[in-house]
Structure 1
Amino acid sequence: MNRNDRSIVALVMLAHGMVHTYELSIPIFIPIWLDAFDVISLGPVELAVTSATLGVLVTIGYGLFGLGALPGGILVDRVGSRRLIIICLAGMAGSFLLLGTAPGLVAITLAMVVWGVSASIYHPAGLALISKGVEERGSGFAYHGIAGNLGIGLGPLLTAVMLLFFDWRAVAMMLAVPALLAAAYATTASFDETAAVETVTDGGNSKASSGVDSLAGFRSETARLFTGSFALVFLVVMCSGLYYRGILTFMPDLLQGLPTFEPIPVSSVVPTDLLETLGIESIAARRVRPGDYFYSGLLMVGVLGQFVGGKLTDRIPVEHGIAGGFGLLTVLAVLFLPAANAGVLPLLALGFVLGAALFVVQPFYQATVAEYTPARTRGLSYGFTYLGVFGVGALGGTVAGVILQYANAPVLFVVLACFALVACSVGIWLGRGR
């Protein structure tokens, strides 16, 4: 990579890690909120706190995370990526400060709204920056994905460890600090945002393209995208988002219900004498939730998946990667509960493969968007992409919560397998068309 590539990749790795640190720390709080709150008070109306109602609450924030990607993508094509990345980081910090002061679930929902709006602008900004500014685009996507997975894995792990020592509200406020520091760093980075965009043959320069600048332009560019193969790519990313959010939102709570992952006192893991020596004997009675650490480990394995997927996008047709990756996810959804019931070792093995497979598909569909869309509206294209992944995909949290409340876990995993199977079929179709 050249100097400009490295500067861009460093910034997007930092910002991407922050976005997913917050995104995946939220499910760690869900079992706590289920125990801490009995009702959601909406004036004269009170709703019982259940998996279904919390699923809806989380969907609001996660939904905005996706819905805001579309206007974010339009803004990227108009004002560039750096400003939006700074706004994203500062807004996420503010949302977790608000979460730390929330007295109830209504205020928690408001904090989720602020987080969703702030985080929503990152993916179109960061991915457009890589696709237009980084010469080694495949490697840029790979390193970007690795940083995201470090945030995805370390965020829940850090949150789980901090909860051993502090109240959940204090943990939320402390989590705001890294995003503030990252926003400060983003203001100092230096790079050319369009260094990798080629000059067009009509004498103009695609670097000067300003993207969508009117409602009519938005309609025409959107029609151009969705009358082509991008419509099928959009179906893939919707299915990916539904699977991703559906399997991860209630994973800590599902694992907590397994005998192997029942919460245990800290004193049963760490000798009391050692706790006294360290001066932290006060946490001896607090309960460790082993499922949280399995969840974090599963997500950390995604680093491997992101790296492999990113490298493979430069070596095999992206359509083949989509078909193979989602085919594997279909099989893993079917096998998850049988592996969980077979014991710790089968579940660990399946969790390792699932953690990698969840994220190996991401560089493939990110690169597919770049191949199926013009550079002048790359921000708009990634805006639609993450509208599908995190906007429509946010419904996966509601789907999971409702199914767990009114049906059972086997039904949930069958539904997830269907989402993956649809994406796999589209990948096969695109590969034949290519």
Structure 2
Amino acid sequence: MNQTERRLIAFIAAAHALTHITELSYAVLLTRIQDDFGTRDVIMGALATVFGWTFGSSAIPAGFLTDRLGSRRVLVYAFAGSSVMAVLVGLSPNAWVLAATLAGLGLTIGLYHPAGLSAVAQGVSQRGIGLGFHGVAGNLGQALAPAIALGLAIAVDWRAGFFCIAGLSALLAIILSRAHLPVHGDSEVLSAEAVAEPPAQEEAATITNRLLTPLLLTYGAFVVGGIVYRGVITYLPKHLEEMVSQDFGGVFVTVALVMGAVGQLLGGWLSQGMRLERIAPVIAAAAVPALILTAMLSGALLVIASSAFVFFYFANQPVFTGLIADYTPPGAVGRSYGVSFFAGFGIGSLGGVIAGALVDTWDTEAAFWGLSVFMALVVGLSFALWALAERRRRDVNLATAVGSAP
């Protein structure tokens, strides 16, 4: 990587970290907010779904804006807006107002992913490594969220955590407004000529729509994986508080999320030298038993099992985000990431209410058993992607052999 690429990754990594600090803060503070407002578990899960739905829904317009305006400008809008909404979340007097303000916070911070991922996927020559570092920053942000939010909640009040997020978001918006983040040569947007001329090796696949089915399967994996993600990220803190330590559950969440950062690095490194469709089902299959053990165990073994699940789950993120770029034509990468993150964070936000209903009816163990079923579906979709890739490879080899025959 050259200096320009390293600088790009540094800015995007900071933005990604703050995005996930913002995203996870509600889950970390869920128990304290619930005690303050006196609401049921299913209502708290529904609030997580409201945030998740808006967080994912704004990804689609963000994708169109990214392709048109460039990543940097969209990031400025994202963090300027989230600074205002985080203040309003902290001022919410009841659950109804909190639902509205969390929705606004989700809409603004949800602009991030299409812009950030598009910048890394198109602006860094070693894409797998770049996506790995991008993912690490997100996991470190999630790992910092419990320390920041719980520390301020203990020292002051749960509302102080959102006021802190507002200040950090405003600062980052100002910094990005003065930065230059070229992702296409020296330009922040893709030229019309580049859009009009797709790479030669993709022309045949584009004409015959050979990549449409795997792209749709990848979107499907984002939906089902998003259900798992939202359920786990919302109720893992509560699960660890109940099954490990009431006072230090948040600390153990941080341990698990640090393992997610290690997983991101491994996934990014593997995706540099191996076919993505071959990696995805193997990693997804490894995550299923770890999630089942998270439902079954308690104490120190639960911390180990949940950390293993987070490791494998996030190891697949650079793989699937790389597949989106592989299956999408030039000039539409931002939009495609918008659709994928609407699928994962928007539709996938149903995981919050699904897990909340299971907790309300039974307990947190039941929620993780239920989420294990959805993780198994991700494995099935990953194997389908692998099978399609192998068939495409055989067809290409056959066509090459026929074309070279005398």
TM-score category of the 2 structures, normalised to the smaller one: 0.7 to 0.9
CA contact (8 A) 1:246 1:400 kept: yes
Contact 1:330 1:416 in 2 (8 A): no
User: In 2 relative to 1, CA 405–137 (structure 1 residues): closer, same or farther, beyond 3 Å?
Assistant: same
Paired residue for 1:141?
Answer: 131
Partner of residue 99, structure 1: 89
Q: Quick one: distance in 1 between partners of 2:85 and 2:35?
A: 22
SS of the counterpart of 1:192? coil
SS at match of 2:316: helix
Structure 2 counterparts to residues 275-290 of structure 1, below 5 A: 289-290=247-248
Paired residues of 1:301 and 1:355 also in contact (CA < 8 A) = yes
**For 1:16 and 1:193, how far apart are their aligned partners in 2?**
17
Alignment of 1:18-29 (within 5 A): 18-29=18-29
Secondary structure at the counterpart of residue 172 of structure 1: helix
Amino acid at match of 1:132: Q
Aligned residue for 2:392? none
Match of 1:37 in 2: 37
Give the Å deviation of 1:254.
2.1
8 Å Cα contact 1:124-1:382 kept in structure 2: yes
Q: Residue 90 of structure 2 aligns to which amino acid in structure 1?
A: G
Could you say which residue in structure 1 is the equivalent of 2:309?
354
Give the 3 Å change call, closer, same or farther, for CA 58–225 of structure 1 in structure 2.
farther
Cα distance in 1 between the residues matched to 2:212 and 2:123: 27
Please point out which of 304, 313, 338 is paired with 2:262: 304
1:68 to 40, 55, 58: 58
User: Could you say what secondary structure the match of 1:87 adopts?
Assistant: helix
How far apart are 1:140 and its partner, in Å?
1.2
Equivalent residue, structure 2, for 1:179:
169
Deviations 1:384-433 (A, max 9, x none): 11011100111100101011112333432232112111111121122122
- Alpha-carbon distance in structure 2 between the residues aligned to 1:74 and 1:310: 26
Alignment of 1:20-419 (within 5 A): 20-38=20-38, 49-195=39-185, 205-206=193-194, 227-258=212-243, 260-262=244-246, 289-340=247-298, 343-344=299-300, 346-419=301-374
Deviations 1:327-351, CA, capped at 9 Å, x for gaps: 11211121113322xx42x223223
Secondary structure in structure 1 of the residue aligned to 2:181: coil
- Structure 1 window deviating more from structure 2 (14-23 vs 327-336): it is 327-336
Q: What is the Cα deviation at residue 185 of structure 1?
A: 1.2
Q: CA RMSD in A?
A: 2.3
Greater fraction helix: 2
Q: Residues of 1 paired with 2:146 and 2:241: CA distance?
A: 15
Could you tell me the percent identity over the aligned residues?
A: 28
What code does the residue aligned with 2:270 have?
Answer: L
Q: What SS is found at the alignment partner of 1:228? A: helix
Letter of the 2:286 counterpart: L
Partners of 1:382 and 1:96 in 2: CA distance: 25
Q: Which amino acid letter does the alignment assign opposite residue 425 of structure 1?
A: G
Following the alignment from structure 1 to structure 2, what is the Cα–Cα distance between the partners of residues 123 and 146? 14
**CA distance, structure 1, for counterparts of residue 210 and residue 102 of structure 2:** 31
Q: Distance in 2 between matches of 1:92 and 1:139?
A: 29
Tell me whether 412-421 or 73-82 shows the greater mean CA deviation: 412-421
Which whole-Å CA distance do the structure 2 matches of 1:27 and 1:76 have between them?
Answer: 29
Counterpart contact for 2:148–2:161, Cα < 8 Å: no
Check conservation: 2:280, 2:382, Cα contact below 8 A: yes
- Cα deviation for residue 130 of structure 1 reads 1.3
1:246-265 deviation line (CA, Å, top 9, x unaligned) = 1120222222222x413xxx
Deviation at 1:352, TM superposition (A): 2.7
Task: Determine if contact 1:326/1:423 at 8 Å carries over to the other structure.
Answer: yes
| SS state at 1:326 partner | helix
Deviation, 1:226, is: 8.6
CA-CA distance at 1:320 after TM superposition: 2.1
SS at the partner of 2:29? helix
Amino acid in structure 2 at the alignment position of 1:353: A
Q: Distance in 2 between matches of 1:205 and 1:234?
A: 28
TM-score normalised by length of structure 1: 0.82
Pairwise CA distance, 1:179: 1.3
1:423 aligns with 2:381: no
**Residue type of the alignment partner of 1:295:** V
Task: Please identify, of 236-245 and 317-326, the stretch whose mean Cα deviation from structure 2 is larger.
Answer: 317-326
Deviation per CA, 1:150-173: give whole Å up to 9, x if none: 111001221112222111122321
